[in-house]
Amino acid sequence: MSDIADAAGMSRPTLYAVYPNKEAVFSAIAEQHREQAERATEARLPGEKSLEAQLALIFEIWIIEPFASVIDSPSGLDLLGNAEAYAPEAVARMYARFEHYIIRVLQPEMPKKRTLAARDLAHVVMLATKGLKASTTSLAELRRMTDGLITMAVATTRVAAHR
């Protein structure tokens, strides 16, 4: 908490008056990120026409940009890897909203008669993303792997449509 107070330019007592512990600070940051990501998604998603472009935008806002913002920080990867331990409810809400947007763009692309629901495909993609963020050590690798997830999701919708 001393490091956080110093970085924020405030005293420890002032910081403790707002946040009882570092987990509360992390939770507030996660909630702020979720709100910003939702606003950015709502503003920018209508401009993307193809499924691939829509998914790429969602991944950019919810996964790539946050990763890029901490990758060079000495403890950034540790924070990402342990985010669920520090702020489980806030992180769960963040991933739920990320999944919501994936469902939103997949749903219109999935045929009425299907073997895989858009909700299930979105859930698989979200879970895979969690694993990628926890195990990736570079932004280039994360981009390459998320591009692969997008390609698989788009291909899955096309295969489902042709059944």
Q: What is the pLDDT of residue 77?
A: 73
pLDDT in tens, 1-25: 787 778 778 888 887 888 888 888 8
**pLDDT over threshold 90, residue 38:** yes
Domain with 92 in it: 37-161
pLDDT in tens, 69-128: 888 887 777 777 778 888 899 999 999 999 999 999 999 988 776 678 899 999 999 999
Examine residue 101 and state whether it is found in any structural domain, yes or no: yes
Examine residue 143 and state whether it is found in any structural domain, yes or no: yes
Examine residue 13 and state whether it is found in any structural domain, yes or no: no
Examine residue 109 and state whether it is found in any structural domain, yes or no: yes
Examine residue 3 and state whether it is found in any structural domain, yes or no: no
Q: What is the pLDDT of residue 137?
A: 81
What DSSP letter does each residue of 83-152 carry, written as one string?
Answer: HHHH-HHHHHHHHHHHHHHHHHHHGGGS-SS-SS-HHHHHHHHHHHHHHHHHH--SHHHHHHHHHHHHHH
**pLDDT over threshold 90, residue 40:** yes
Q: Number of folded domains in the chain?
A: 1
CATH of the domain at 136: 1.10.357
Q: What angle do CA 38, 43, 48 make, to 5 degrees?
A: 110
d(CA 10, CA 1): 11
Is 31:75 a contact under the CB 8 Å cutoff?
no
Examine residue 135 and state whether it is found in any structural domain, yes or no: yes
Examine residue 18 and state whether it is found in any structural domain, yes or no: no
Q: What is the pLDDT of residue 114?
A: 64
